[in-house]
Amino acid sequence: MKRFLLLIVIGFLLQSCARVGSPVGGAKDTLAPKFLGSNIDTTRINVPRDIKELRLDFDEYITLKDINKNLNISPPIKNIKRIIPANIANKFILIQWTDTLQANTTYNFNFGNAIADNNETNILRYFNFAFSTGEKIDDLYISGEVKDALSIKKAGENKFVVGLYKAKDTIDYKQKPYYMTKVDDDGYYELNYLSPGEYKIIAFEDENGNSIYDAGKEKVGFQKDLVIVEKSISGLNLKLYSSKRPVKYLEMKEAAGGVMMTFEGKPNTVKVQSQNEKLNDYKVTHTPKSDTVRIWFDAVKSNLGQNGAENLKFGYNADNKKDTLYNASLFYRYNAKNTMDVNSDNGGGLLPPREDFKITSNYYLDKINTDKWIFRIAGDTLNTVPFTAKISETNPYQILMKADYISGKKYQLIVPKETVSSFYAKNYQSKRFDFEADRVENYGSLTFKLQNAPSSSYWIQLVDSSDKVLYQKYTKGSDVKFDILKPGEYIVKILVDNNENKYWDEADFQNDIFAEDSYIYYKVTVVRPLWDSNEEWDLKDTRVLDTSKLSVPKTNSNPTPTDEQPKNLNVNGNNALLTPTR
């Protein structure tokens, strides 16, 4: 009898400890979990300020997905102690904190898409729970759309958030917004349960999930004017732009020809001065609005880093904020492998019609001696072809070679060693470049007629579906023509140089400065061989490009960017700054 009772008890315990799982058979569960109730009474008003937890009950076992990224509590409650469930499914959510709640305040817990049932992961989308420590629950709202002004990415999950800061003399943007919500994947947002008042609104791409805008690292959109919430507001739309990064020194490291100093942010000017007894002969180059400074010297001649790492010290000042120099240093070891070299800048061995043949160097170019260069038609060892070559005025690492190139002809260029010079080095070996002058019939052209064209200069860019700039012009007026284009599909952007500084300026939220104007053409433009495509574009047209239908460009090879080509948004038409020898 005892043995029989023991077996019953063991069976009961095994059944009680069974894991929660999916039932066998039956129709598939497609319903999201259903909210049943909470530890706060149904009126949800006059909630005691010393309450330390919120419990939400559901009709089935649930799990929480990325709760720290999905959950937004407005206004923020600091010192969240724990959130249940963590790793094991449960029929309730428990959030505990140590803070005392504010008086007469409506709190909203927005769970985004964090709540899902345990069996089929059906999501309870955008579940909100609100309560008030006062006599009523605030019910005002702001809604609208958020879009990335320059992105051509296909629609999908985003990390955009929208927040409100209470308007006051000094707003601490290093704190979480007072109200905050996540933008859904279609770009729509709602800030709910708002109390009347004046607010500063901000939208940003919360890349690191900390619910705080990180200047210079995350895209941002905002309104200069305060948002006055007296009644609910619909249609408050915001566009996100790249943000200006504050200038901050990062590091120095050994680089070909000397050392490299890098910054977070893009200073206009950088002053550098050697603080080493050995290093008196050096050059400093920096392009305005660039995050990199190069310091060039002859390490062998100066006996630097020849027998091991040697501490090099420099003083620097970025953007002349003060007259004083800040200290920077590195342990420098000379790397004999970092020699000066030259290479072809024309991809695929085909030179597009009406273009210069381009040669690039890993060193800043000081002068060239073309007297010993040999340029001829391939296979013709008796005759040479006349040419001229010069260092590019906009890219001091590039040589442009002009000649009367004949379509379909193959050419050979020999650049002997020590005919291309930097400050303290020359190309260490001879190079031979073989290429063919491509035929014009392999290319098309594209003409744009702009309505409501910018009054200032602008960049018009042709980019592919990965947002890589393939062609660009810096121009002014309403008519633009690209003569020689590889056949394919292109997305067209315009970046306006409103202040005519030859740099597209990003948004500066802290100083209430908008990004300069920009536009994306609402159609994918197709270029065909021997075809002159004509497009009319009214910049006031609000239609948007359908990114869901973008395909990889059908170009045969990557075209060679022009000298005026920027890298992404780092538009910079200025020459490099050369600091004289000390």
C-alpha 364/C-alpha 112 separation (Å) is 52
Other Cβ atoms closer than 10 A to 480:
20
Q: How far is CA 338 from the centre of its chain?
A: 31
pLDDT of residue 375 exceeding 60: yes
> Beta-strand (E) ranges in 111-196?
115-117, 128-132, 140-148, 160-166, 179-182, 188-194
Amino acid identity, position 384? T
| Contact between 383 and 375 (Cβ < 8 Å) | no
Query: Helix (H, G, I), strand (E, B), or coil: what is residue 306?
Result: coil
Q: Is the pTM value of this prediction over 0.85?
A: no
Q: Two tokens at 265?
A: 């942010």
Residue listed under structure tokens 């920077």 = 328
* pLDDT on residue 208: 87
Torsion of CA 473, 477, 483, 486, to 10 degrees: 50
Return the minimum-mean-pLDDT range out of 21-35, 247-261, 347-361. 21-35
- C-alpha distance across the termini of the chain, in Å: 103
Q: How confident is the model at residue 352 (pLDDT cuts 50, 70, 90)?
A: very high
Does the N-terminal peptide bond of residue 33 adopt cis geometry, omega within 30 degrees of 0? no
Q: Two tokens at 84?
A: 């249940």
* pLDDT on residue 86: 83
Beta bridge partners, 227, equal: 199
Q: Which whole number is the average pLDDT over 124-130?
A: 91
Q: Which whole number is the average pLDDT over 508-531?
A: 94
Q: Which whole number is the average pLDDT over 406-426?
A: 97
Residues of the chain by 3-state class (helix, strand, coil), percent to 5: 5, 40, 55
pLDDT of residue 140 exceeding 70: yes
Q: How confident is the model at residue 567 (pLDDT cuts 50, 70, 90)?
A: very low
C-alpha 44/C-alpha 52 separation (Å) is 15
Residues 98, 100, 104: CA angle, nearest 5 degrees? 150
Torsion of CA 328, 332, 335, 336, to 10 degrees: 110
* pLDDT on residue 549: 63
| Contact between 190 and 119 (Cβ < 8 Å) | no
Mean pLDDT for all residues in the chain: 88
pLDDT of residue 578 exceeding 70: no
C-alpha 247/C-alpha 266 separation (Å) is 6
Q: Which whole number is the average pLDDT over 388-392?
A: 97
C-alpha 458/C-alpha 566 separation (Å) is 12
pLDDT of residue 152 exceeding 90: no
C-alpha 431/C-alpha 464 separation (Å) is 32
C-alpha 486/C-alpha 353 separation (Å) is 11
What pLDDT digit, counting tens, does each position of 25-35 carry?
A: 456 668 899 99
Which position has the higher pLDDT, 184 or 320?
Answer: 184
Q: Two tokens at 37?
A: 């109730």
pLDDT of residue 471 exceeding 50: yes
* pLDDT on residue 17: 39
What pLDDT digit, counting tens, does each position of 162-178 carry?
A: 999 999 878 888 889 99
Burial class (CB in 10 A: 0-12, 13-18, 19+), 289: buried
Q: Which whole number is the average pLDDT over 511-527?
A: 94
pLDDT of residue 43 exceeding 60: yes
Q: Which whole number is the average pLDDT over 546-568?
A: 50
Torsion of CA 165, 167, 168, 169, to 10 degrees: 100
